[in-house]
Structure 1
Amino acid sequence: MNHQLKTKLVSMLEVVYPSLDCDFLSDQLLSTMGLSPDQAPPPAHQNNWDESDIVLITYADSVQKDGQKPLVTLHQFLEDCLSETVSCVHILPFFPFSSDDGFAVMDYLAVNESHGNWEDVEAIASDFKLMADLVINHMSSRSRWFDNFKKRVDPGKDYFFEGNPRDDLSAVVRPRTSPLLTAVQTEDGERHVWCTFSEDQVDLNFANPKVLIEFAGIIREYLERGVIIFRLDAVAFLWKEPGTPSIHLQQTHELIKILRLLIEHHSPDAVIITETNVPNRENLTYFGNANEAHVIYNFSLPPLLINTLVTGDCRHLKTWLMSMPPAQMGTTYLNFIASHDGVGMRPTDGLLSEDEKQRLINTMDSFGGKVSYRRTADGRDQPYEINIALYDALKGTVESGADHWQLQRFICAHTVMLALEGIPAFYIHSLLGTENDLERVENTGRLRSINRSQWQIDTLEETLDNPLSHHSKVFHELKRLIAIRRKQPAFHPNATQFTLHLGLQVFGFWRQSMRRDQSVFCIHNISNEVQQIALSDINLIGTEHWVDLISGMTIDDLSGSITLKPYQSVWLTNRN
């Protein structure tokens, strides 16, 4: 019998666990996932997405209604307002938790009772592709596993990574300023557990293969509950070794390959997305050779695009875009400008100078933003992320401060994102134009709360029905642009992309469908001044009929020019 799956799995496991019986371990993993050793592989380089795919990122309780479970309210909002707009819903951790708005999970296999139940989750999964977080790096210090760790019993006794305060840990890369090791009293004395993010988020020990088997069981449960897209949270930190940076280690990459192998053999249409908020070159490594993540977050896009629009200069965005490799078939990018976290600054390393970073930080501070820090190996605190609502991040420019172009600048940012190679993802508070929630920051004491507002559904519906509200203007214009995008083959996430050179105030790129039957020239005025662009600089083909998908404007004279108002975008296509 051909045991192709098992043979491949064993070879991967031997990289991670060279001293263990990997043949036996592979049998345990396959049994846990309900797979046979000769399970047929999925088609190679298969794209489980197309131009119609749009992701919504939301907390389970971002939209609420008195007397109703938030997951039910969210489903109602999705059905009533977004059923023709988004194809995929990423519900941020909806499990019982002790801190970090869900990312300190207490029980991976339960739904937070205050949000709803598994039936509510499955109902959303029946209408939309469901993305869920696999919070794989760490677990709550109030979980049953960690209680068992302190009691020195299974399951949990050896599930958490321990460190020695005498070890040299100076090389460890972390996104926080809190101590790395936390002292814990256990039944057999004091132990020091590794906490990459906080003392309430204790890192799991994947050197113990029982932890991997546990997560195989968790993954299978999620698949059977309707989850089809897995976001591997903070996965870059998964494997730790004192004396190393303990980020991006080879064992981490191999574990991602193992998880992908198991997931895609169980469900060939399932997708893995890695969440690695790191410099661009490091981020790209998570594609592997099209055998790790199907999709990676385009973490450099948010800070670069915001910087472009507040400076009126696209040179850095253009340089970055030209350096980005086209994703292989079966892989692509997840494009986003805002998320539940802040605007990461590490992804700008090597892309913006230190002075440019500081100027961006100062500008965001003037627009009501906050800054979170991380501690470097030499003990310095460096800016890690800017905490700000995207609508307020784009309220003005570096030179002039707040101005009257906020709405247009905000729409321009999303028009750029919608057209780029990859899958667009909208954070719910960007889709709604939500502003800085400083009251929530004060109440929680956490800077990230600035962009984690909660809407009462009645208030939200009333606001969206008010044509004078900027929330309504944002929501309806973004829905209109999304509807246009979803019909264009040239906007397939893997369609060809080339950068155009139209000066520093105009950012442009060209997309061509994989069948080469549609071209779209995406041209954006990223400044607060009118821009004139000669059509000869765009190289439109004279035998084609050209129209702007956004405005309906037709191009009759290719020897002429087009005029773009401040922050205006055009999508010029030869097919409508």
Structure 2
Amino acid sequence: MTYPLKEKLLKQLQVIYEGVTLNDSVDAIADKLITQMALSDDAQGPTPFLNRWNESDIVMITYGDSIVNESEKPLVTLKQFIDSHLSNELSGVHILPFFPYSSDDGFSVLDYSSVNESLGDWQDISAISERYKLMADLVINHCSARSIWFENFIKGEGTGHNYFFTASPNDPLDKVVRPRTSPLLKPVTTKQGEQFVWCTFSHDQVDLDFSNPEVLIAFVGIIKQYLDAGVLIFRLDAIAFLWKEIGTSCINLPQTHEVVRLLRTLIECANENAIIITETNIPNIQNLAYFGNANEAHAIYNFSLPPLLIYSLISGDCQALKHWLMRMPPAQNGTCYFNFIASHDGIGLRPAEGLLSESEIGTMVNTMQSFGGLISWRTGEDGSQKPYEMNIALYDALKGTLDGPDKHQYQRFICAHSIMMSLEGIPGIYIHSLLGTENDYEKYNNTHHNRAINRHRWQSELLNEQLANPYSHHSKVLAGLKKLIAIRKQQNAFHPNATQFVLQLGPELFGVWRQCMNRSQSIFCVANITNKPLSLRLNELNLIETEQWHDLITGQHITDLNSEFALLPYQTIWLTNKNTGE
């Protein structure tokens, strides 16, 4: 059942601000939110369970300046690269924060209303959004300590002077959960005297106070501007930490979930095709909670996939990956998973808690370090230091096994993506995965930031030379992934919400069965996750004998369903009874 917009907002605002002393009534706040979005009180949401995605959706994750050319703006260079190399493969592009910033490669925002001049302007952003579904970050938990808002906080006047969350060092803060080891509170001298500002991530990233409705109203205005610029997918950055309440963990609080519901209400009324993706790098069960009752995030990042898949491929054992997938609920109508293996951040380890043992996580951490990776740490509940994420380029992370580097790096890398693309959900592929980019030690040494190792900046001329060389691994990786994408986009059984069953084929073969909505197409996706040849007994798949089966990747036809299919190290097959792309 749908409700007029204002009626629904009032219910949500009452939940968010229960117990909070407000200057305005919730009725007045609702009016301001509706005005910010240029909507009417009786606006209605979209048709229930509107189909916003399908098997053709593939999103590339990139910084605005991942590829540069001195003669033009990076956003222009980026669009030219996508148009030239990936226009047939990509449906969407996630441009990481493209605003003026002071640190953290864009996630410490100075001004939400402007495009970083070093990248381009709003016209360049719109040029990309006109051809591809544009995904943008709503850096909603915090902003830069050098922003106008925070300068006004110090002065005690002007927009932003009351936007920030403060606490006392004497408050009970021992339960607060954070992904960093830096001090939580930052002492700041203001016109009102010394205040201690909450900093979940760094002292240049000061947390906003959403118990003040003015902050919510300001961000709804920002959302409206992004919608007008063509943004269709909103990534809610670090959303789990949004609401703070002294004496609690200050993560995943009920008010945070209600804010997500409210933003979804407004965004859907403004554009029924727009969606929200929550970025919550937290244990799996907590992450799943951001689906709500199909009324919060349209999609959630599948954060447990990267560490589990990498562990499977370096250990030759996919048991943990299978057990996790078997416990994952199918996404409800109107929701889906956002699958990825690599991104601008490291490979998070918190989402592997309870899925891999501490010993297995430790072994993986040691292996990544031996492959040239770095480790970022957090402070555990008991005060000990625990690994938070592994910082390494995915191509290097898959250069070998627990026994060390080997000759199967390329095959292992392609295998990882073939598995990811076969799973329920929308695939998101980092630009440096598409290009097979390796660890950038020079950038790390220049910045001393662990994540810089996986944030290389390509010179376009050098990149084009590499891609034009059929013998370079960069060229091979791009060609190999483009082949998989081209096949995947045509198959109905790879719809993000198509049925998925995990196959029981032992620890060395990973497999899932996908079936499209009308059951006309099945695809059995099986991967050899070891560095040795293996055989798959086809009768274990229970293929229907009256149908013709063939591998979508190699084109090989199956003539005897009681035979064995020989799989090379890290080879994947997509066996189907029907190629819906023909």
Residue 432 of structure 1: which of 404, 423, 435 is its match?
A: 435
Match of 1:275 among 276, 279, 285: 279
The one-letter code matched in structure 1 to 2:483 is: R
Structure 1 letter corresponding to 2:173: L
In structure 1, distance between residues paired with 2:249 and 2:282? 13
Residues 1:179 and 2:167 aligned together: no
Amino acid paired to 1:9: L
1:396-448: CA deviation from partner (whole Å, max 9, x where unpaired): 001x2000000000000000001100000100000000001111100011000
2:435 is aligned with 1:408: no
Q: In the alignment, residue 11 of structure 1 is paired with which amino acid?
A: K
Q: Match of 1:150, as an amino acid?
A: I
Deviations 1:443-499 (A, max 9, x none): 011000000001111111110111110111000010011000000000000000000
SS in 2 for 1:15: helix
RMSD (Å), alpha carbons: 0.8
1:534 maps to 537
> Following TM superposition, by how much is the alpha carbon of 1:163 offset from its aligned partner in structure 2, in angstroms?
0.9
Alignment of 1:140-179 (within 5 A): 140-179=144-183
Distance in 2 between the 1:152 and 1:386 partners? 41
1:15 aligned onto 2:15: yes
Given that residues 170 and 378 in structure 1 are in contact (C-alpha distance below 8 angstroms), is that contact kept between their aligned partners in structure 2?
no
Structure 1, unpaired ranges of 5+: none
One-letter identity of the residue aligned with 1:287: F
SS in 2 for 1:94: coil
Corresponding letter in the other structure for 2:539: S
Deviation of the 1:24 alpha carbon: 1.3
- Partners of 1:360 and 1:304 in 2: CA distance: 10
Offset at 1:41? 1.7
Is 1:69 the counterpart of 2:79? The answer is no
Confirm whether residue 50 of structure 1 aligns to residue 54 of structure 2.
Answer: yes
Q: What one-letter code is carried by the residue in structure 1 that aligns with 2:92?
A: C
Tell me, in whole angstroms, the C-alpha distance in 1 between the residues paired with 2:443 and 2:374.
13
Matches within 5 A, 1:435-454: 435-454=438-457
CA contact (8 A) 2:141 2:241 kept: yes
**C-alpha displacement of 1:154:** 2.2
Write the mapping of 1:419-568 to structure 2, written as runs, cut at 5 A: 419-568=422-571
From 77, 80, 83, the equivalent of 2:84 is: 80
Residues 354-384 of structure 1, C-alpha deviation per residue, up to 9 Å, x if partnerless?
1000000000000000000011232211100
Instruction: Tell me if structure 2 keeps the 8 A contact 1:45–1:328.
Output: no
- In structure 2, how many angstroms separate the alpha carbons of the residues matched to 1:116 and 1:76? 14
Does structure 1 retain, via aligned residues, the 8 Å contact 2:3–2:44? no
TM-score normalised to structure 2 length: 0.98
Aligned mates of 2:99, 2:536 — CA distance in 1: 52
Alpha-carbon offset, residue 3 of structure 1: 6.8
Identify the match of residue 397 of structure 2 among 387, 393, 396. 393
What is the TM-score normalised by the length of structure 1?
0.99
Is 2:96 aligned against 1:101?
no
More deviation in 15-24 or 199-208? Answer: 15-24
Find the counterpart in structure 2 of residue 343 from structure 1: 347
Runs (4+) off by over 3 Å: none
Contact 1:336–1:424 at 8 Å: present in 2 too? yes
- Aligned: 1:356 with 2:369: no
| Partner Cα separation in structure 1 for residue 275 and residue 209 of structure 2 | 24
For residues 236 and 3 of structure 1, the distance between their equivalents in structure 2, rounded to whole angstroms, comes to 27
Matches of 1:285 and 1:507, distance apart in 2 = 27
Give 1:188's aligned residue.
192
Alignment partners' CA distance in 1, 2:309 and 2:433: 15
Match of 1:234 in 2: 238
Counterpart position of 2:134: 130
Q: Does 1:91 align with 2:95?
A: yes
- How far, CA to CA, are the matches of 2:561 and 2:358 in structure 1? 42
Q: What CA deviation, in whole Å up to 9, does each residue of 1:328-372 have, x standing for no partner?
A: 111000000000000000001100111000000000000000000
Partners in 2 of 1:341 and 1:402 — Cα distance? 23
Instruction: Render the CA deviation track for 1:528-549: whole Å, top value 9, x for unaligned.
Output: 1111111110111000000100
- The answer (yes or no) to whether the contact 1:47–1:331 under 8 Å persists in 2 is no
User: How big is each residue's C-alpha offset from its partner over 1:143-178, in whole Å with a ceiling of 9 and x where there is no partner?
Assistant: 000000000002111100001110010100000000
Q: State the alpha-carbon separation in 2 of the partners of residues 556 and 301 from structure 1.
A: 35
Give secondary structure in 1 for the equivalent of 2:113.
Answer: coil
CA distance in 2: counterparts of 1:377 and 1:104, whole angstroms: 26
Match of 2:269 in 1: 265
- What do residues 192-244 of structure 1 show as CA deviations (whole Å, max 9, x unaligned)? 00000000000000000000000010000000000000000000000001110
Q: Is the 8 A contact 1:95 1:105 kept in 2?
A: yes
| Number of residue pairs matched by the alignment | 574
Counterpart position of 2:312: 308
> What letter matches 2:351 in structure 1?
P
Query: Identity of paired residues, percent?
Result: 61
